[in-house]
Structure 1
Amino acid sequence: MINSLFICHGGPTLVVEKNEYTDFLKELGKKIKPKAIVIFTAHWESEITTISSIDEGYEMIYDFYGFPKELYSIKYGAKGSTEVALKLQTMLKTHEIESRLDTKRGLDHGAWDILYLMYPKADIPVVQVSVNPELPMDKQYKLGEAIRELGQEDILVIGSGSTVHNLATVDWNVSEPKQWAVEFDNWLVEKVENNDKEALFSYGSLAPYSKLAIPREEHIVPLFIAMGSGQGNLPKLLNRSYAYGTLSYICFQF
């Protein structure tokens, strides 16, 4: 049983690209058909964990600038689920984790970019959840642990972020990955596959090129939440590829 996934959502153009990674995401969506999806997106930050609680369809948020016009016309018509949102909030409360509900925010690029590829019919309810990058990584992991029973109810938890996310280093004309990005991911993949939580919690001081790979932590936070919610399952690397020199396309199953 798959409790959770960590998925690198890449750049906004991913949704209209045709490559190894987009093919992978499309095939992954065919293999995993949950009753509902809870997605923690790096593009929604808040101090208190905030949960989308709507039953109707989401408004679209195009939280990027300067990209081709076609990206701003993409629609993803997934509905929400107040039932799942309340279930999630109850689980967090049981573990003394504060949360609140949101009835207005739309679906951001960190969520719809990958869901559009995985589930193009938009026929699975989606509950979007914020992240707080100020929390230490062990606390992020515990947040994931608090909701791991969702997997027993066929509700898939997705952490949507990136292992290497430094937009200042992206080169749109380069296909081969930069060595430092590969070395950072090598360290990360090894620690995840060996379930070395203590090392991972201190990745900032232990992993090579960590500050270059992760200048701000909002994009790696979803990895730790996904790890926690998949606790007890053997981690599995499902995909690893790169684009534009430093954009990492890694996917873990927990």
Structure 2
Amino acid sequence: MPSLFVSHGSPMLALDDSDNAAFLAELGQVLPRPKAILVFSAHTDMGGKVRIASSEAPRTVHDFYGFPDALYQVNYPAPGAPKLATEVADLLQTAGFDAELDEQLGWDHGLWTPLCRLYPAADIPLVLVSIDSRQGASYHYRLGQAIKSLRTDGVLVLGSGGISHNLGELFRRPGDPQKVEKMQSFVNWIADKLTQGDLPALLDVERQAPHARFNHPSIEHLMPFYVALGAGQGEGVNEATKPPLRLHQSIELQILALYTYAWLE
């Protein structure tokens, strides 16, 4: 199965017609059907131990405010996968992570908004794994490396976040007159380093990428990208690797870059 990174953008992805929503709906039709999906979402960002959702039927969490009532009525009743959750915990612990099962962890909107479009029937078992944005890119790359073997068993690895994610700039008055250029410079740098197979540069994104702090005032939305990258790459950080496919790109509200990348090998 592929390793995917999707940019989920606004929670309204679940309801509104948009280029990103249409793309994800089409993608769900052409992907091979996974036996389960392992999700790393920007909205389950926790310090300390890696938390792994292990309930058979996690609840749908509406972890946002100020949206239309219809969005709070959305339920995504996909089943959990306790056996797979245990396998994920074992893999992470073997790789040196302090990981534990969590029966209370529910489906955050970084999980269910794109999956409403990809797999609207909500009939594929899921496991949600926490990220920790305090740990940075290399940590999340290693998370992906630790669970990459599951892809050969029919498990789709899905990182859900955003290539750019500066919500504050959307409401700032006056805004940065160079905001569009700063966003484009950053996302182009990511694309170029992927094409070049420059993994060390990618893992040093906060220091090397142009306008990294502007595009990610807090870094949690970029961390699932690195999990998907780790799950899609070979071993080690110094080798040149085959770049992923960029399956989709669109821009919302001028500076929210909604890109989807897929690692297929």
Please, what TM-score do these two structures have when normalized by structure 1? 0.94
The residue identity in structure 1 corresponding to 2:180 is K
Please tell me whether the aligned partners of residues 42 and 161 of structure 2 are also in contact (alpha carbons under 8 angstroms).
yes
C-alpha displacement of 1:205: 1.6
Q: Per-residue displacement from partner, 1:62-103 (whole Å, max 9, x unpaired)?
A: 111111111000111100000110111111112111101110
Say yes or no: does 1:12 pair with 2:17: no
Please tell me whether the aligned partners of residues 56 and 82 of structure 2 are also in contact (alpha carbons under 8 angstroms).
yes
SS of 1:217 mapped into structure 2: coil
Say yes or no: does 1:22 pair with 2:16: no
Give 1:168-207 correspondences, 5 Å limit: 168-170=168-170, 178-207=180-209
Q: Extract unaligned runs of 5+ from structure 1.
A: 172-176
Aligned to 2:237: none
Say yes or no: does 1:52 pair with 2:53: yes
Aligned to 1:123: 123
SS of 1:147 mapped into structure 2: helix
Q: Extract unaligned runs of 5+ from structure 2.
A: 172-178, 235-241
Please tell me whether the aligned partners of residues 54 and 81 of structure 2 are also in contact (alpha carbons under 8 angstroms).
yes
Q: How many residues align?
A: 247
Aligned mates of 1:136, 1:10 — CA distance in 2? 21
Cα 1:127–1:45 change in 2 (3 A) is same
Aligned to 2:135: 135
Aligned mates of 2:135, 2:256 — CA distance in 1? 24
Aligned mates of 2:117, 2:218 — CA distance in 1? 26
The residue identity in structure 2 corresponding to 1:14 is L
SS of 2:200 mapped into structure 1: helix
Aligned mates of 2:212, 2:96 — CA distance in 1? 31
Which of 204, 211, 214 is residue 212 of structure 1 equivalent to? 214
What CA RMSD, in Å, does the superposition of the two structures yield over aligned residues? Answer: 1.3
Percent of matched pairs sharing the same residue: 36
The residue identity in structure 2 corresponding to 1:107 is W
C-alpha displacement of 1:196: 1.1
Aligned to 2:78: 78
Q: Per-residue displacement from partner, 1:170-211 (whole Å, max 9, x unpaired)?
A: 26xxxxx82221111011111123221111111112111111
Aligned mates of 2:11, 2:166 — CA distance in 1? 15
Say yes or no: does 1:250 pair with 2:251: no
Aligned mates of 1:123, 1:193 — CA distance in 2? 35
C-alpha displacement of 1:217: 1.1
Cα 1:182–1:234 change in 2 (3 A) is closer
Aligned mates of 1:21, 1:136 — CA distance in 2? 27
The residue identity in structure 2 corresponding to 1:253 is A
Give 1:143-182 correspondences, 5 Å limit: 143-170=143-170, 178-182=180-184
C-alpha displacement of 1:157: 0.7
Please, what TM-score do these two structures have when normalized by structure 2? 0.90
Please tell me whether the aligned partners of residues 193 and 236 of structure 1 are also in contact (alpha carbons under 8 angstroms).
no
Please tell me whether the aligned partners of residues 170 and 247 of structure 1 are also in contact (alpha carbons under 8 angstroms).
no
The residue identity in structure 2 corresponding to 1:145 is Q
Q: Per-residue displacement from partner, 1:93-138 (whole Å, max 9, x unpaired)?
A: 1211110111012211110000001000001001111100111312
Aligned to 2:92: 92
SS of 2:9 mapped into structure 1: coil
Aligned mates of 1:72, 1:195 — CA distance in 2? 41
Aligned to 2:231: 229
C-alpha displacement of 1:234: 4.1
Please tell me whether the aligned partners of residues 52 and 105 of structure 2 are also in contact (alpha carbons under 8 angstroms).
no
Aligned mates of 2:197, 2:136 — CA distance in 1? 18
Aligned mates of 1:153, 1:107 — CA distance in 2? 23
Runs of 4+ in 1 over 4 A off after TM superposition: none
SS of 2:133 mapped into structure 1: coil
